A and B are shown apart, each in its own frame.
Chain A
Amino acid sequence: MRMVNFRLPYNTGRIALVLAAVFLLGFLLLPSQLQGLFQQIGSPVGWVLSWPLRAVAGVQEGTAELWDGFIMLRGVAEENQKLRRELEHLKGQNDQLREAAAATERLTALLEFKKQANISMVAAQVIGRDTGNWYQTILLNKGQSDGFKPDMGVVTPAGVVGRIVKTTSATSVVLLVTDPNNAIAGLIQRTRDEGIVEGTTQGLARLKYIPLLSNARPGDQVVTSGLVGGFPRGLAIGTITKIDKDEGALFQSAELTPDVDVGRVEEVLVIQSPNVQSEGERLDAPKVKSKS
Chain B
Amino acid sequence: MKAGVWMTLIAGLVSVQAVLLPYATVWGVMPDIGLIVVCLVGLFEGELEGLLLGLALGWIMSLFSAADLATCMITKGAVGYVAGLAGRHVVYLAPAVLLMGILAISFMNGLLTAALLNLSNQQDWWWAVRTVVVPQAVIDAMVGGALYWLVWSRLNIQRWVSEYRT
**A-side interface residues toward B, CB under 8 Å?**
1-4, 6-8, 10, 12-13, 15-17, 19-20, 23-24, 27, 31, 34-35, 38-39, 42, 45-46, 48-49, 52-53, 55-57, 60, 127-135, 137, 139, 165-166, 168, 171, 173, 175, 179-181, 198, 200-201
Distance between A165 CB and nearest chain B CB, rounded to angstroms: 5
B145 part of interface (Cβ distance < 8 Å): no
Report B-chain residues with C-beta under 8 Å of the C-beta of A4. 90-93, 158
Which of B20, B60, B88 is within 8 Å of A45, CB to CB? Answer: B60
Chain B: residues with Cβ within 8 Å of the partner, total of 64
Distance between B17 CB and nearest chain A CB, rounded to angstroms: 5
Q: Contact at A39–B69, with CB atoms within 8 Å?
A: yes
Cα distance, A3 to B92, chains bound together (Å):
5
Q: Contact at B92–A55, with CB atoms within 8 Å?
A: no
Closest to B57 in A: A131
Q: Contact at B19–A128, with CB atoms within 8 Å?
A: yes
Which of B11, B29, B45 is within 8 Å of A7, CB to CB? Answer: B45
Give 13 new A-B contacts, CB below 8 A, not counting A42-B69, A134-B117, A135-B66. A1-B92, A6-B43, A7-B46, A13-B88, A20-B77, A20-B78, A23-B77, A49-B63, A56-B16, A132-B67, A132-B113, A139-B18, A168-B63
Cα distance, A224 to B100, chains bound together (Å):
48
Instruction: In the A-B complex, list the 8 residue pairs whose CB atoms are closest, starting with the nearest.
Output: A128-B18, A135-B66, A12-B48, A129-B22, A180-B120, A16-B48, A56-B15, A131-B61
Q: Contact at B15–A132, with CB atoms within 8 Å?
A: no
Closest to A181 in B: B120
Report B-chain residues with C-beta under 8 Å of the C-beta of A27. 70, 73-74
Q: Contact at B92–A49, with CB atoms within 8 Å?
A: no
Report B-chain residues with C-beta under 8 Å of the C-beta of A39. 63, 69
Cα distance, A130 to B62, chains bound together (Å):
9
Cα distance, A15 to B51, chains bound together (Å):
10
Report B-chain residues with C-beta under 8 Å of the C-beta of A130. 18, 22, 64-67
> Which residues between 83 and 140 of chain B lie within 8 Å of chain A, taking CB atoms?
84, 87-88, 90-94, 113-114, 117, 119-120, 122-123, 127, 131-132, 136
Closest to B56 in A: A45
Q: Contact at A133–B136, with CB atoms within 8 Å?
A: yes
Report A-chain residues with C-beta under 8 Å of the C-beta of B15. 49, 52-53, 55-56
Q: Contact at B120–A23, with CB atoms within 8 Å?
A: no
Q: Contact at B55–A49, with CB atoms within 8 Å?
A: no
Q: Contact at A1–B94, with CB atoms within 8 Å?
A: yes
> Which residues between 1 and 50 of chain B lie within 8 Å of chain A, taking CB atoms?
11-12, 14-20, 22-23, 29-30, 32, 34, 43-48, 50
B154 part of interface (Cβ distance < 8 Å): no
Q: Contact at B30–A181, with CB atoms within 8 Å?
A: no
Q: Contact at A49–B123, with CB atoms within 8 Å?
A: no
Distance between A31 CB and nearest chain B CB, rounded to angstroms: 6
Centre residue among B43, B70, B72 by max chain A CB count within 10 A: B70
Report A-chain residues with C-beta under 8 Å of the C-beta of B120. 180-181, 198
Instruction: Tell whether A165 pairs with B66 under 8 Å between CB atoms, given A132-B32, A132-B61.
Output: yes
Report A-chain residues with C-beta under 8 Å of the C-beta of B14. 49, 52-53, 131
Cα distance, A127 to B22, chains bound together (Å):
11
Report B-chain residues with C-beta under 8 Å of the C-beta of A129. 18-19, 22
Report B-chain residues with C-beta under 8 Å of the C-beta of A134. 66-67, 113-114, 117, 119, 132
Cα distance, A46 to B60, chains bound together (Å):
8
Q: Contact at B19–A127, with CB atoms within 8 Å?
A: yes
